[in-house]
Amino acid sequence: MTIRFAALTALAALSVGTACGAQMLPKDTEVWTPEPPVVAPGAQAGAAPSDALVLFDGTDLSQWVATKDKSPAGWTVEGGVLTVNKAAGNIETKQSFGDYQLHIEWRVPATITGEGQARGNSGLFLASTGGGDAGYEIQILDSYQNPTYVNGQAASLYKQRPPLANAMRKPGEWQTYDVIWRAPVFGADGALVKPARVTLLHNGVLVQDNVELTGETVFIGKPKYKPHGRSPIKLQAHRDPSEPISFRNIWVRELAPAG
């Protein structure tokens, strides 16, 4: 049996070699260059890797400005935590980005009041394309036992796509968003060449899976695109009456454009 098995194996190898025109070796399918860059991961879960730009490390808002006039960001930093100042309005990064990986942590106060959209409301705008709430929004909201329309709950692509699951922790606990953002591409004439795409994990749970956006976020009506280039990342100061939410540990890694 051993001799017969060896003969069959040799015959199979000969057949493969004949079909390919020559006997293939393992090294024929090995790729050695170029080598991927070395990136040291964070020392603990959620910590920024070595090639990340830290947007908020708990100390100051030097990476942020007010959206309305690009003056210094007027939110509160205390105890390593960034808290929304609703009267000061939205803030956005000084730097603009194309495609990226983003990590952000946020917390709804344990004392939160209100219901529906008036309970811990804010927003993460993956690309701020103008003043106010212009851009592409991932909803931030207390969605722990707080019913609302599903394309407006936490981790929804606001008014476009509900999350695949509700992974919300209860108020007072920290939430995490990990985002892969693929920015839209426009031609020289301003026409859309490639739509934006988003992948989102909420508290480690996949809730948006490479979703194609149909345009920028709008509160009323249908989304649509307008041409733009690299854009800041924006955080929303929603004017609902509930207690303001907080953020910590925000970092971003720029990515090469998708092929």
Q: CA 135 → CA 53, 61, 88, 145, distances in Å? A: 21, 21, 19, 28
Residue range 51-254 forms a domain whose CATH class is mainly beta
- Look up residue 8 and give its two tokens: 């069959």
Whether the CB-CB separation of 141 and 115 falls below 8 Å is answered with no
| Alpha carbon distance 109, 81 (integer Å) | 12
Cα 60–74–241 angle (5° rounding)?
120
Domain ranges of the chain: 51-254
| Alpha carbon distance 163, 156 (integer Å) | 5
163 contact partners, CB below 8 Å, separation of at least 6:
150, 153, 154, 155, 156, 200, 202, 207, 208
- Look up residue 1 and give its two tokens: 């049996």
Average pLDDT per block of 10 residues along the chain, 259 residues long: 45 48 91 95 95 98 98 98 98 98 98 98 98 98 98 98 98 98 98 98 98 98 97 97 98 93
pLDDT at residue number 258: 84
pLDDT at residue number 21: 64
